[in-house]
């Protein structure tokens, strides 16, 4: 397409060369699904954001110099069925933090003026028995 050939230098100048990888696919998808211009642009931008986030993660993993990078998706849960898979996935996906925003169980840091005090956990608004006491942990002296 002539438009794609004209877009290449413009996208490279804007540092959006990742858009070129998905442009043809997204154009076909837009025609087939009769997408609006806004939806088409949104999907292109989402692809670029996903590409950049993936690139940043790869860079961070390389810089961390992990000997063997492991992912939860690759873990063999059948090896030890006593491992609480649901709890591990909740911790990895920060479900607890999201619940805090919705008003459920609360887990949050204290005010910034408290200095060394790091985390406070208190009973949720429902009086949930799982979280029953306040606990403060000092970060002073932690290396």
Longest CA span, the chain: 66
| pLDDT, position 131 | 42
Q: Which of 105, 108, 107, 141 is nearest to 124 (CA)?
A: 105
On whether the CB atoms of residues 137 and 131 are closer than 8 A, the answer is: no
d(CA 87, CA 47): 31
Question: Given strand 117-122, what is the order of strands in its sheet?
Answer: 106-109, 117-122, 136-138
Can you give the pLDDT of all 143 residues of the chain as single tens digits?
Answer: 456 788 889 988 999 888 888 889 999 999 999 999 999 999 999 999 999 999 998 899 889 888 887 788 888 888 888 988 888 888 888 776 666 555 554 444 445 444 444 444 443 444 444 443 444 444 555 54
């Amino acid at each position: 397409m002539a438009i794609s050939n004209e877009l290449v230098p413009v996208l490279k100048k804007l540092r959006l060369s990742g858009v070129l990888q998905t442009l043809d696919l997204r154009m076909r998808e837009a025609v087939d699904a009769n997408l609006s211009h806004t939806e088409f642009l949104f999907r292109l931008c989402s692809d670029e954001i996903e590409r950049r986030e993936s690139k940043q993660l790869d860079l961070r993993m390389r810089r961390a110099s992990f000997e063997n990078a492991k992912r939860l998706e690759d873990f063999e849960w059948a090896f030890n069925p006593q491992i609480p898979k649901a709890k591990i996935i909740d911790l990895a996906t920060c479900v607890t933090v999201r619940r805090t925003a919705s008003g459920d169980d609360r887990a949050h840091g204290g005010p910034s003026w408290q200095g060394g005090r790091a985390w406070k956990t208190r009973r949720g608004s429902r009086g949930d028995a799982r979280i029953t006491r306040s606990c403060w942990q000092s970060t002073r002296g932690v290396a």
